Structure 1
């Protein structure tokens, strides 16, 4: 008969970590840092991104400061289950662009003993919760909220203000399309006070 300590040693526990914030807050940079540390620890690591994210590279995950890591682009969250098989750590970038199945997929991977690290925008350009992110935040064991610097006042920014005239929910972009703003500057610019 196994003792309690022997059961713990034979059962690998997984979990979900979520890194959220506005654009230019360092979410992808932090994701890459955690994944590279897992690689140094000789863990089997795989990273995924949505197929629509081709801003810097068709295949690599690349941060705004040009730090990059090899990744696999996927078009639906369901595909992650097959592609992530056999890994110790799974990274998912730009999670807000995935479908709602991402929450179930992350839970299933964690239940199978995988450490799942997810990065994404918590709010869209209108300040509303974005895609599957609210549910991921609710079910994650660990949450890290990172902040950019407001380009207007220098305070902590949590809003991704779109500076181009386009009302589509998803507009891939960089500094020409978005700027990070704090609450007060966002409200002033969008006149929502």
Structure 2
């Protein structure tokens, strides 16, 4: 449940919502659902995604279930402040790929009275905090953590395990590049990969 700011300040403040989790956990699906409900309510909604994300469509946010909503690709988070000037609700997908300034941008948007809804991976493929996501989670009024299903054991998954050989931090992923894993299965896979890496260096 999301409550509007009801303080007694003369200036009306907005708020920040963060939807986070592993790949294939339904983050973008939930983002689209919230934004479409805002549109149905007659609110002006602007949606943004990083220019790097063109997996499904250059100008739409698209979930793995093929639900979509029109969006604007931007090169840096600072552009969002300018382009979202008239919006009541601002949606941001794949937030982990933006620069760290996104945290300040979202705080400014909320201070201008806007509702900011963000979706992104909370951890990279090595299980480390990803990009601006930790900062966004700390300044948000609402944080929703969603889970996929572990592809090894069927438990709730919170890790995105890369199954291709690549050392790049950013690999725009599909099901053939990543699999969601629970903490236990992810730990076992990482131990296996580290062991194989040590063997290869001998």
Smaller-chain TM-score bracket: over 0.9
Corresponding position: 1:24 with 2:10? no
Corresponding position: 1:44 with 2:44? yes
Q: Which residue is 1:107 aligned to?
A: 107
Matches within 5 A, 1:34-183: 34-183=34-183
Could you list the per-position Cα deviations for residues 125-146 of structure 1 after superposition, in whole angstroms to 9, with x for gaps in the alignment?
Answer: 0000000000001110000000
- How many Å apart are 1:9 and its aligned residue? 9.5
Task: Specify the SS of the correspondent of 1:191.
Answer: helix
- How many Å apart are 1:13 and its aligned residue? 2.3
Q: Which residue is 2:200 aligned to?
A: none
| d(CA) in 2 for partners of 1:145, 1:154 | 18
- How many Å apart are 1:172 and its aligned residue? 0.5
Mark the runs of 5 or more structure 2 residues left unpaired by the alignment: 1-6, 195-202
What's the TM-score once normalised by structure 1's chain length? 0.94
What's the TM-score once normalised by structure 2's chain length? 0.90
Structure 1 residues 165 and 151, CA, compared in 2 at 3 Å: closer, same or farther? Answer: same
Equivalences, count:
187
Could you list the per-position Cα deviations for residues 116-166 of structure 1 after superposition, in whole angstroms to 9, with x for gaps in the alignment?
Answer: 001000000000000000000111000000000001100000000000000
| d(CA) in 1 for partners of 2:10, 2:77 | 29
Mark the runs of 5 or more structure 1 residues left unpaired by the alignment: 1-6
- How many Å apart are 1:11 and its aligned residue? 4.1
Task: Specify the SS of the correspondent of 2:105.
Answer: helix
**Structure 1 stretches of at least 4 aligned residues deviating more than 6 Å after TM superposition:** none
| d(CA) in 1 for partners of 2:140, 2:20 | 12
Structure 1 residues 9 and 127, CA, compared in 2 at 3 Å: closer, same or farther? Answer: closer
| d(CA) in 2 for partners of 1:191, 1:100 | 30
